[in-house]
Amino acid sequence: DKGNHRHFMAKEIHEQPEVVGRTLAHYVNFTAGRVEIPFDLPFDFKNLKRVSISACGTAYLAGLVSKYWFERLARIPVEIDVASEFRYREAPLEPGSLALFVSQSGETADTLASLRYASAEKQHILSVVNVATSTMARESDVVAATLAGVEIGVASTKAFTCQLTVLLCLAIAAGRARGTLSAADEKELVDALIGVPGLMSEAIKREHQVEMLARELSKAKDVLYLGRGTSYPLALEGALKLKEISYIHAEGYAAGELKHGPIALIDETMPVIVIAPHDALFEKTVSNMQEVAARGGRIILITDEKGALETDLDTMATIVMPSAHPIVAPIVHAVPVQLLAYHTAVFMGKDVDQPRNLAKSVTVE
């Protein structure tokens, strides 16, 4: 049932404040201002030397955001691979380390094969999955459920933001266990997390503006997405969403890589979508935007109130998100990125819920 939405994807984008809120309630003690993981961990984060993450597609990108969180908040080294590479590269894994898998369906062939490899290598297996009865859930030592509900649109949206929510809670729990986060730090992060569903609702209110921009975007042959820090995986996610449902060629790049190649592509025909909340890396991203502008590139800037005030660049458009704590900002900024792909594809008359050549669950490699 699509409710009053035209597509499941629209419904699922709009459901995010609710399902992220529900997922949060499962992992956070709101009154105590702390994360409380609702299951026993068969390992202690304090003793871990590293975490290896593998997943595919959008779930991989949620994992990539969490690498920044685990390393920043818990000072634990994280390696991450797409599962189709991890399963065959015979990575040496120290017994007793943590292998983390992220999957909406819990049935993705490559992710499952990676899980079995890690299990044979005596890793603790922790899976962040949305389908509680899935094969991956059954074969894991512990399952961290995302409570996104059934996701029908082939392009993952609400599962992604719920994965981010769970992964951030795990990173906070790891930080506490490892002594890298004080109770006050944790409270600040938990307060920020509690605000996320409301901020996502605010973000959804920019939909009309995004819809107008989608008309422009639909004329493009190629689109470049740029971001730094946790906005870099979001840039990759934006490009993935746009290509899979609108069939416009899109690429995501770390903004700092621009001058190492992709800047050669920039001209007035290529929209450049820059994701840049006002965080510690904002100034760096602004200088990359200047390089784009100087070459006639047309910029769509996704930023927050402070970021919008502090740039006087001539953008094609600026989408202003509500201000969020920099750690939780990627969960909020995912919304306009999803909406932009959705409205572009709808404007082009594409079947957004059933894009060509794609299956919801990829059970063959």
Q: Is the distance from CB of 240 to CB of 61 less than 8 angstroms? A: yes
Residue number, 59 or 174, with CB nearest to ligand F6R:
59
Q: How far apart (Å, rounded) are the C-alpha atoms in residues 301 and 59? A: 25
Among the candidate windows 50-58, 164-172, 208-216, 296-304, which touches ligand F6R by CB under 6 A?
Answer: 50-58
- Residue 262: burial class (beta carbons within 10 Å; 0-12, 13-18, 19+): middle
Contact in structure between 36 and 29 (CB atoms under 8 Å): yes
Instruction: Give the binding-site size for ligand F6R (rule: CB under 6 A).
Output: 15
Which of 16, 105, 231, 344 contacts ligand F6R by CB under 6 A?
105
Cβ proximity to ligand F6R, 308 vs 362, nearer residue:
362
Residue 275 lies near ligand F6R (rule: CB under 6 A): no
Q: Does 246 bind ligand F6R (CB under 6 A)?
A: no
What distance in Å separates the CA atoms of residue 7 and residue 329, rounded to the nearest whole number?
Answer: 26
| Strand ranges (E), the chain | 28-29, 34-35, 51-55, 78-82, 98-103, 124-129, 142-145, 222-227, 249-254, 271-275, 298-304, 317-321
Task: Select from 16, 84, 97, 111 the one that contacts ligand F6R (CB under 6 A).
Answer: 111
The only residue of 82, 155, 170, 292 in contact with ligand F6R, by rule CB under 6 A:
155
Torsion of CA 19, 23, 28, 30, to 10 degrees: 20
| Among positions 23, 66, 108, 315, the unique one binding ligand F6R when judged by CB under 6 A | 108
Q: Determine the interface stretch with ligand F6R among 100-108, 190-198, 311-319, 332-340 (rule: CB under 6 A).
A: 100-108
Stretch that binds ligand F6R, among 51-59, 90-98, 247-255, 279-287 (CB under 6 A): 51-59
Scanning 3-11, 56-64, 179-187, 289-297 for contacts with ligand F6R by CB under 6 A, the matching segment is 56-64
Residue 84 sits in the site that holds ligand F6R (CB under 6 A): no
Sequence letter at residue 126: L
- For 37, counting Cβ atoms within 10 Å of its Cβ (0-12 exposed, 13-18 middle, 19+ buried), the class is middle
Contact 323, 278 (CB under 8 A): yes
- Does the footprint of ligand F6R cover residue 134 (CB under 6 A)? no
Residues 15-34 as x/- pattern, contact with ligand F6R by CB under 6 A: --------------------
Complex with ligand F6R: residue 156 or 323, whichever CB lies closer: 156
From 105-113, 198-206, 297-305, 311-319, span contacting ligand F6R (CB under 6 A): 105-113
DSSP characters over 141-210 = SEEEE-------SSS--HHHHHHHHHHHHHHHHHHHHTTSS-HHHHHHHHHHHHTHHHHHHHHHTTHHHH
Select from 23-31, 104-112, 192-200, 205-213 the region that touches ligand F6R (CB under 6 A).
104-112
Site residues (vs ligand F6R, CB under 6 A): 56-59, 103-105, 108, 111, 155-156, 240, 244, 361-362
